[in-house]
Amino acid sequence: MISRILFLVATLLANAACASEPVSELIEEQARNHYGAAVPLEAEITVMTTSGTLSKAVGISAFWIDRKSGKFLANAVSSDGNEHRIAGYAVVTKKVAVPTRKIFPGAILTDADLKVIDVPHMRVGTFSVTDLNALVGKEVKSLLSPGRQIMAQAIREPLAIKRGDQVSIHFRVNRLELSAPGRALNDAQLGEPLKVVNIMSNKIVLGVARPDGNVEIMQ
């Protein structure tokens, strides 16, 4: 009781030198202090009030939060020295890129396919790909649902060559370079090995996928 009175007195004295601040910012500061190292550097704290109408205060005289749910109770001190009970949730959130629509396998993700939303940190999957920049340009391997997190196993680098594609086979030895038309026998990303059949000799050779449908024969 005495400590609270001292806090109110100190708050009133400080109020002469400083202006009121948004209650949400004061609560966020309190929540960060309580969460401590549990809040990742890239995460944010989203404050939602369920009761209490005070928008600005000079300080928080008492604060309690349930770390699991984010539910909090706070006593905010207004500029006239009165305490106001504020209740709500201060949830640790992380920005996550999710699909804006249903996306089928084989599609290449673009900016228009994705949006960024705030997701409670505890609900972000271990294998979720959250960064929009890390998703754009990737090929979809399995069906993506709108608003759902994208797992790492659901995307991949686009295929450079697909099974059945007509390719150009290249073989180099010192300054000698030979080429022949071929057909891919399996899918491959850039730099991945694949089997191709030399259409001229009908022989199967092993090569490496290069850009523009080229295959470099492995020596």
- Cα–Cα dist 60/71, whole Å: 16
Q: What is the CATH number of the domain that holds 130?
A: 3.90.1210.10
The tally of CA atoms less than 13 A away on the side-chain side of residue 204 is 5
Residue that terminates a domain, selected from 119, 135, 156? 156
Q: Are residues 69 and 146 in the same domain?
A: no
Residue that terminates a domain, selected from 104, 128, 156? 156
Q: Are residues 213 and 172 in the same domain?
A: yes
The total number of structural domains that make up the chain: 3
CA distances from 95 to 46, 59, 115, 124, 147 (A): 11, 29, 10, 10, 12
Q: Are residues 211 and 138 in the same domain?
A: no
Per-residue pLDDT of the chain (219 residues; tens, 9 = 90+): 555 555 555 555 555 445 689 999 999 999 988 888 777 777 888 899 999 889 999 999 999 999 888 999 999 999 888 999 999 999 998 899 999 999 999 999 999 999 999 998 888 988 999 999 999 999 999 999 999 999 999 999 998 999 999 999 999 888 888 899 999 999 999 899 999 999 999 999 999 999 888 999 976
Residue identified by tokens 């790909």 is 129
DSSP reduced 3-state for 40: coil
Contacts of 113 by beta carbon, 8 Å cutoff, 6+ apart: 99, 100, 101, 103, 107
Domain that holds residue 123: 94-156
- Cα–Cα dist 76/71, whole Å: 16
Cβ neighbourhood burial of 29 (10 Å; 0-12, 13-18, 19+): middle
Q: Are residues 122 and 86 in the same domain?
A: no
Q: What is the CATH number of the domain that holds 184?
A: 2.30.30.760
Q: Are residues 183 and 210 in the same domain?
A: yes
Residue that terminates a domain, selected from 90, 119, 138? 90
Return the sign of the alpha-carbon dihedral for residues 206, 209, 213, 215.
negative
DSSP reduced 3-state for 121: helix
pTM of the predicted protein model: 0.64
